[in-house]
Structure 1
Amino acid sequence: MIRIIEPGLLSTIQDEGRHGFQQFGVITNGVMDPFALRIANVLVGNEEGEAGIEVTLTGPTIQFEEDALIAVCGADFSALLDDEPMPLWRPVWISKGSTLHMKFSKTGCRAIIAIGGGLDVEPAMASKSTYVRAGIGGYQGRALDKEDVIKARPLTAASKRIAKSLTKRTNKLLTASWSISSVYLKKLYEPESIRVMKGRQYDEFSEESKMDFWKETYKLSPQSDRMGYRLNGPALKREVTEDLLSEAVAFGTIQVPSNGEPIILLADRQTIGGYPKIGQVASVDLPVLAQKKPGEALTFIEVSHADAQKLFLQREQEIRELKWIIDQKLIKEGVDTNAAS
């Protein structure tokens, strides 16, 4: 079990999302940084889409009332495990009675805490993700609060093997000697510009607006949340005056309301939207968006649909390679990754 001592600014349980219900008006929801979630779960031996705790800007303080295997991926919150710096992007064995304290985010905006075996909360419509506005999923349909107690499910067979490798170690902090490459993470999270495909109504915008969209810098407004990032910058003007029928929207859809200030729709987006769509963020850059803070700058660069697909397939191949490398690291440490529990 884990006990929330301090919840931080916004800590919620999230998985890969609530899929298959949009036709009924139920949003997809889910984690903001899907890459961090997937890798954190791989590091603790879970299925990639298992729910973890997503933390935002100011992290929680969590006490572990049982031994646990965890990984923290995403933003750097200068976390401490008791009095020791907590490493990111690697598995760590937590002893009963230990406390994880996450401070303000030093770099990035959000992190995911994955726990070996997963969190024991009841799924709602096939997902453990929390949709706070509707009070659905996660822990009682809300953000975590002081004195909340969450049970962890039993370790998976893979989790047990990873835990076994860590508990053999003699260092004070029982953690793997390796982690996901900082060079790779820098390349993934720090591209020069966000890659964007043209939206369905792109050609309806003025030539000046289209030029501004690609060449000017936008900043994230403080009025941004998990539903969408509002952007401050050059206003975009649509030359066509006819109203639009509402259409399906996706994670990363860039809509332009009547005031001309773009909004990037995110994990808690609505199911349909009636504003014109100037662009769609390529899925490989959604983790980049998740780590942007209010006030930070964004620039966009055009990518074709075909190239966005190639980038997606390349990223999936990279994740498969990361999983293989992790297996090899565990084998090197004497863990048989194919053995039964």
Structure 2
Amino acid sequence: MNMHILGNSLMTTVQDLGRTGYQKYGVNVSGAMDPYSLRTANRLTGNPENAAALEMTLMAPSVVFDGPSVIALAGADMNPSAGGIPVPMNRPVYLPEGTVLSFGRPRRGCRCYMAVSGGLDVPSVMGSRSTYARASLGGFQGRTLIKGDSLPVGKMPEKGKKLQNILGKQKRKTAWTPWSAGIYPICESFLFRLFRYTEGLQYSDFSEESRTALERNRYRVTVHADRMGYRLEGEKLHLAVQKEMISEMASLGTIQIPSEGYPIVLMAEHQTCAGYPEIGQIILPDTARAAQLKPGDTMTFEKISLEEAENIYIQTEKQMRAMTAGIDAHIEQGGL
């Protein structure tokens, strides 16, 4: 079976959880900007959580499958409809062959993830199917998707078959389960704009005024925001004493301060090393929420300890495991 792209979009790519182990060679991890939404969508279709899916940013293309399929949508709510019928987020949805899935403007968030049972069967490059478009690496021909593209879908797993058998027997052609994975299982709300961070490598080198300003002020995401990082505008931050920096490893969620003083938050396709001073490191669960910000949205910051960051991460993973167990139990009990 194939998935066909019927229209163009702002930026739609194939993503999984990324390629690890290659940053020392200059190849970044890439992968889903919001990995928790990707994992949720995959689990809802019976896939392993690392299966390749679509990441659709702000404006999504219409798609159609040339066979019956089970899909799930998580992350930003882009007003999805199948054959003109609105379909819900965060639950398995059965689409008969030839049903056109369309999207509108996002109600909330920025990035929507669409998983299909079986996953998108594009070639694996360095252990990942994720697209890194700047290097023309991975995904579908190493690029964003355009009208006319056709992507193969992998073999449907047993859990997906169970869902298809149950939902395909419903009276309405397009069908979904009465249960869902919740609106957004890993955070309080898309509107929760407080981002927690731990001290960066050069935190103590910044002036006391700058360290205080980072937490007291709101910063706005500028139009210079993409999968590599977000440039912010707000109060400028500066080192107490200017000094020459040696390039260091860069990582997801790092808050860099270039010479002009406006913060940059590194995201999924960040460079593998950087020479700007690092005032903070946004914790992993909060970088997923940052992925749902769009230009004009605001961010505020709160410093926490490494111990607190570790506990938040552990609790987040417990939430994800509990959600997965609940989904699996529903599927095993007949899907309804």
Query: Which amino acid in structure 1 is aligned with residue 227 of structure 2?
Result: R
Displacement of 1:332 in angstroms is 3.9
Deviates more, 1:320-329 or 1:298-307: 320-329
Cα distance, 1:84–1:36 mapped onto 2, change above 3 Å: same
1:277-300 Cα offsets, whole Å, 9 max, x none, are 000001111221010010001101
What's 1:158 paired with?
A: 159
Deviates more, 1:187-196 or 1:33-42: 187-196
CA contact (8 A) 1:189 1:287 kept: no
Query: Which amino acid in structure 1 is aligned with residue 325 of structure 2?
Result: W
Displacement of 1:243 in angstroms is 1.1
CA contact (8 A) 2:61 2:102 kept: yes
2-structure distance, mates of 1:129, 1:329: 29
User: Can you give the 5+ residue segments of structure 1 that lack an aligned partner in the other structure?
Assistant: 336-341
What's 1:12 paired with?
A: 13
Q: CA-atom RMSD, angstroms?
A: 1.5
1:26-58 Cα offsets, whole Å, 9 max, x none, are 111111000000010000011101110100011
Answer yes or no: is 1:49 the counterpart of 2:72. Answer: no
Tell me the secondary structure at the aligned position of residue 28 of structure 1: coil
User: Can you give the 5+ residue segments of structure 2 that lack an aligned partner in the other structure?
Assistant: none
Normalised to the residue count of structure 2, the TM-score between the two structures is: 0.96
Normalised to the residue count of structure 1, the TM-score between the two structures is: 0.95
Displacement of 1:181 in angstroms is 2.2
Paired residues for 1:203-222 under 5 Å: 203-222=204-223
Tell me the secondary structure at the aligned position of residue 210 of structure 1: helix
2-structure distance, mates of 1:211, 1:264: 18
2-structure distance, mates of 1:189, 1:248: 30
Displacement of 1:223 in angstroms is 1.0
What's 2:295 paired with?
A: 294
Deviates more, 1:140-149 or 1:169-178: 169-178
Paired residues for 1:39-118 under 5 Å: 39-118=40-119
1-structure distance, mates of 2:329, 2:133: 40
Query: Which amino acid in structure 1 is aligned with residue 132 of structure 2?
Result: Y
Answer yes or no: is 1:120 the counterpart of 2:121. Answer: yes
CA contact (8 A) 2:58 2:106 kept: yes
CA contact (8 A) 1:165 1:330 kept: no
CA contact (8 A) 1:197 1:282 kept: yes
Query: Which amino acid in structure 1 is aligned with residue 273 of structure 2?
Result: I
What's 1:318 paired with?
A: 319
1-structure distance, mates of 2:36, 2:191: 14
Cα distance, 1:334–1:308 mapped onto 2, change above 3 Å: closer
Cα distance, 1:188–1:48 mapped onto 2, change above 3 Å: farther
Tell me the secondary structure at the aligned position of residue 222 of structure 1: strand
Tell me the secondary structure at the aligned position of residue 299 of structure 1: strand
